[in-house]
Amino acid sequence: MKLISWNVNGLRAVVGKGFADIFADLDADVVCLQETKLQAGQIDLEFLGYSSYWNYAEKKGYSGTAIYTRVAPLSVSLGIGVAEHDTEGRVVTLEFDEFFLVNVYVPNSQDGLRRLDYRMSWEDAFREYLLSLRAKGKAVVVCGDLNVAHEEIDLKNPATNHFNAGFSDEERGKFSQWLAAGFVDSWRMQHPDEAKYSWWSYRMAARERNVGWRIDYFVVSEDFKDRIVSTDIHNEIYGSDHCPVEIVLK
């Protein structure tokens, strides 16, 4: 089973940059999108053989997540069941026979870490949500833009970004707590020493110079890590400031 996750930074924009062809070339069983920046009815984009499920932010042109799947889910849920965290369209969960798939767009702490307190609250609530899924007796696969580079290897310039959003001690610590609760960073498990990035600023030709961050992940519960066949970061694919990331499960 091949799964793709991609922060498209505006789905309508990336549709104009060859999204349909990229979607076809990736030939995934499930494609999870973040930052769709859509409201219901603003786009008609379906693919033969796939069903789609959408979670929209209340604020127009902001956030939003979606999943395309050619494997029929047993159930679909939107959000994490916490009112204060469920207005921004950040989570779609599909239940399959053997696991829950959670597509997430984690809140950005913003310049000056001005939204860090909210981010910390979100992290605790989201971790509890994942553990509640685990308590149902199935594995959990989480994908999306997690807005954190966990270790120094996960960004080009760790020293100069130590106190910036996405690489603060607080955000990295929450990700460590999540992993300690019984989850595995699939890319880092398979590529322990490789520096490869999934996001680049639009400023200062960052992508051309490969001055990037790895903030897009597939994280799986410990009991599913032996099902990982391969992982990939498709930094050859353009259209967004992020590139797609991939996992193949047996």
Cβ–Cβ under 8 Å, residues 243 and 237:
yes
Catalytic residue among 53, 56, 68, 105: 105
For helices 116-134 and 169-180, the axis angle rounded to 10 degrees is 10
Q: Is residue 111 flagged as an active site residue?
A: no
At position 45, the amino acid (one-letter code) is L
Q: Mapping DSSP to helix (H, G, I), strand (E, B) and coil, where does residue 122 land?
A: helix
Residues 232 and 184: their CA atoms lie apart, in Å, by 15
At position 207, the amino acid (one-letter code) is R
Maximal C-alpha separation, the chain: 47
Among 127, 227, 143, which Cα is nearest to 177's?
127
Cβ–Cβ under 8 Å, residues 32 and 144:
yes
Catalytic residue among 53, 56, 68, 145: 145
Q: Is residue 50 flagged as an active site residue?
A: no
Residues involved in catalysis: 105, 145
